[in-house]
Chains A and B, each alone.
Chain A
Amino acid sequence: MSLEEDIVSDDEMNMIDEDSATDSEAESLSDSDTENEITEKLAEPTKTAVYNRDGLLDKLQDISWPEDVDWTHKLTVEIDQGQAVDVNDDLAREMAFYTQALEGTRQAFGKLNEMGVNFLRPANYYAEMVKSDIHMEKVKSRLLHEKKQIEESEERRKARDNKRMAKEVQSQKMKERAKQKKDDIESVKKWRKQRQQSGFSDKAGEPELDFESGKSFQRGGGKKRPGVSPGDRSGGKGRPTSRMGNKKREFRDSKFGHGGRKGLSKQNTAETTNDFRGGFRGGRAGGNKRQKR
């Protein structure tokens, strides 16, 4: 685990404490009672407080070990803290402790190294640890869980970003396509004008191009009915369910219909206007058929 991670976790741990930030210490994790207004220290030190310096020094003399005690008995290191540490800044405080420990360890290890003592635990030295294996398993699973969560959230964010990007790309493409189309139409128009101006306007040779409306070369509004004859009003459905069961009925159904629009089949077209072959009574095809029979 790197230093940064460690510190971050420390910080998280102190997050809950931060509501009691005015205290000189962070409150414990479970008690979240806030003591915002009241500081834990008196603003001014009381004058009546006892301070028996001689007594303290006497006691220190009493209990302290002899002067010439070997350092290996004590294993103490003093580290200068540098400038004063702000207690309420959790990160700075923890960092100060960490650097103190690190510096101290470096000095102590230097001393131990000089003495030539083996002080590092060999890899094959197994012994009881302070925390049990079960507990360390828990710690590990928690770390893994945290890592997984971070990864998952990262993935989600990535997916979101991708989606946004795709949308943008799509809209860009659409715009491009529209522009392309417009340019094409423009160019054709230009070409046509040029042709007209140069006196090449051959009506028969020029195909009827209806670019302006944006429609392609389709007849009948693009409505195709496979298997149905052009005049058929039944939409091809008359045949299988013909009631008379003969061709006549079929024909009649297709002519007079079973619903649908009637109008067009009775109207004259360009060809039938001056065509009197079928007489006035009948249409062109039906009448003919009937007469023939």
Chain B
Amino acid sequence: MGKKRKHSETLAPAPVKKNDESAPERPKRTLLGWKDKSEGEADKSKALSSSGFRNKEKVLVTCSRRISFRYRSLMLNMVSLLPHCKKDSKVEAKSSKGATLNELIELKGSNSCLFFECRKHKDLYMWMVKSPNGPSVKFLVKAVHAMEELKLTGNHLKGSRPLLTFSSNFDKDAHWKLLKEMLTQVFGIPKEHRKSKPYHDHVFVFSIVDEHIWFRNYQISVPHNESDKIAKGGLDKMTLIEVGPRFCLNPIKIFAGSFGGPTLYENPLYVSPNQIRALEKRNKAGKFAKKIKAKTRKKMHELSNPLEPDEFADMWKDDE
């Protein structure tokens, strides 16, 4: 049943467009079959035809096997935030995962993907991919706080479309521009998506601070009266309550294809967490070696520069 509906939905816009060009008096085809024009639908189709654009974004959300529970709950939060996503079972994170995932994306009929890859039970990488012909971005995800944390007290409708706010420094460079476009497409819920709700009660924040993209999700609470209009001065009284999740994305690389292809961008400041850990370990391990080295150096120094014999050494011995 569900599949049938989906099929019809994906097909729906094309005939509508054609109709408008050739025979405007013909009844429109809607999800529930052929119907006469009612005012609401007429409006809708008008809006559709005016721009000729319909956002058909579908996001596949999945994760690697052996993901830790914190990261998995982050993934589930993303699933609950994005009604236009499809969740799939875990994928083995091998070198061939790209091909598998591409196949999966095609199978699910989606055109983008969020893939959460956990390594060593510690490091979370997130792939954000446009399929089938790219680009794809690999992020390192840090500072993860899931929505379940009790300090985050907000709540909002499931499936309401978020407002996306970007900090202005997304426009300063080409790769940020590309990232902004991708984030807009992946995190923005398509208008009139069947699982979305027609109200706006939360806002996403994407902000570049220190070359990282920080994500926040706030609930909007505005005093408004029953006519759904903001009361006078309501905008000034508006407050935001954080809903979560929180995370911070550090872009590592941007590839031209989906899950592969030539590298378009490489973060010059990136150090992998493995390297950091190794350095830390080396610093710790160096302590004993350093001590021994210092000791031998001292010995060598003493041997090479012997003390002069003390001329007063047997001064008192003579007296006895």
What residues make up the interface of A, taking CB atoms closer than 8 Å to B?
A: 1-3, 6, 9-10, 12-13, 17, 23-31, 35, 37-38, 40-42, 45-47, 49-53, 55-57, 59-60, 62-66, 68-70, 72-81, 84-85, 87, 93, 96-98, 100-106, 108-110, 112-113, 118-123, 125, 127-131, 135-136, 138-139, 142-143
B65 within 8 A of A: no
Contact at B151–A79, with CB atoms within 8 Å? no
Given contacts A35-B276, A59-B264, A100-B205, contact A131 B155 (CB under 8 A): yes
Shortest B20–chain A CB gap in Å is: 16
* Contact (A41, B230) CB under 8 Å given A9-B151, A56-B178, A96-B207: no
With a cutoff of 8 Å between Cβ atoms, the chain B residues found around residue A84 in the complex are 209
Binding site for A on B (CB under 8 A): 47, 50-53, 55, 70, 80-81, 122, 130, 133-135, 142-145, 147-151, 153, 155-171, 174-175, 177-178, 181-182, 184-185, 188, 190-191, 197-201, 203, 205, 207, 209-212, 214, 216, 218, 220, 222, 224, 226, 228-230, 235, 238-243, 248, 250, 254, 256, 262-271, 276, 279-280, 283
Chain B residues with CB below 8 A from A122, complex form: 226, 228
Q: Specify the chain A residue showing the minimal Cβ separation from B80.
A: A130
Q: Which of A1, A12, A51, A135 has the most CB of B within 10 A?
A: A51
User: In the complex, given contacts A45-B268, A53-B174, A128-B157, what are 6 additional A-B residue pairs having Cβ atoms less than 8 angstroms apart?
Assistant: A25-B143, A50-B266, A59-B264, A104-B163, A121-B199, A130-B81
Chain A residues in 8 Å Cβ range of B177 = 56-57, 60
* Chain B positions within 8 Å of A113 at CB level: 229-230
**Interfacial chain A residues near B164, Cβ < 8 Å:** 74-77
The answer to whether A108 touches B200 (Cβ under 8 A) is: yes
Known interface pairs A100-B207, A101-B205, A118-B228; A76-B200 also in contact (CB < 8 Å): no
Contact of A119 among B175, B200, B211 (CB under 8 A): B200
Q: Are A121 and B264 in contact (CB under 8 A)?
A: no
CA distance A79 to B216 in the complex (A): 15
Our count of residue pairs bridging A and B at CB distance below 8 angstroms stands at: 271
* Contact indicator A60/B276 (Cβ below 8 Å): no
Residues of B within 8 A of A55 (CB): 256, 262, 264
Contact (A127, B158) CB under 8 Å given A31-B122, A56-B178, A143-B153: yes
- Can you identify 5 A-B contacts, CB atoms within 8 angstroms? A101-B165, A108-B165, A120-B200, A129-B156, A143-B153
Contacts of B229 in A (CB 8 A): 113, 120
Contacting pair A128 B158 (CB below 8 A): yes
* A60 and B181 contact, CB distance less than 8 A: yes
Query: Does the CB pair B155–A129 fall under 8 Å?
Result: yes
CB distance from B119 to the nearest CB of A (A): 14
* Contacting residues, chain B, for A49 (C-beta < 8 A): 266-268
A118 touches B198 (CB 8 A): yes
B239's contact among A2, A37, A52, by CB below 8 Å, is which?
A2
The answer to whether A77 touches B165 (Cβ under 8 A) is yes
Across the interface, B238 reaches (CB within 8 A) one of A12, A80, A102, namely A102
Instruction: Known contacts A101-B205, A101-B216, A118-B228; decide if A110 and B271 are in contact (CB<8 Å).
Output: no
Q: How far is the CB of B268 from chain A (nearest CB, A)?
A: 3
A68 to B47, alpha carbons, bound, how many Å? 12
Task: Provide the residues of chain B in CB contact with A118, threshold 8 Å.
Answer: 198-199, 228
| A81 with B265, Cβ < 8 A, contacts A10-B151, A72-B191, A105-B220 known | no
- Give the residue of B166, B254, B264 whose beta carbon is less than 8 angstroms from that of A76: B166
Cβ distance B201 to chain A, nearest Cβ, rounded Å: 5
Q: Select from chain A the residue with minimum beta-carbon distance to B183.
A: A76
Q: Nearest B residue to A51 by beta-carbon distance?
A: B265
Set of chain A residues within 8 Å of B174, measured between Cβ atoms: 53, 56-57, 60
Give the most central of B50, B151, B266: most A CB within 10 Å.
B151
A76 to B203, CA, bound (A): 10
Q: Contacts A38-B280, A55-B256, A129-B155 given: A63-B207 contact, CB under 8 Å? A: no
Chain A residues lying within 8 Å of B168, measured Cβ to Cβ, are 78-81
Asked whether A142 and B178 contact (CB < 8 A) given A78-B166, A87-B210, the answer is no
The residue on B at minimum CB distance from A28 is: B144
- Residue among B182, B184, B200, B212 with the highest chain A CB neighbour number at 10 A: B200
Contact B198 A28 (CB under 8 A): no
Contact status B276-A38, CB under 8 Å: yes
Rounded to whole angstroms, the CA-CA distance of A214 and B174 in the bound complex is: 98
Name the residue on B nearest A75 (C-beta).
B163
Contacts of A93 in B (CB 8 A): 209, 214
Q: Which of A13, A40, A69 counts the most chain B CB atoms within 10 A?
A: A40
A108-B143 in contact (CB<8A): no
Residues of chain B within 8 A of A142, CB atoms compared = 150
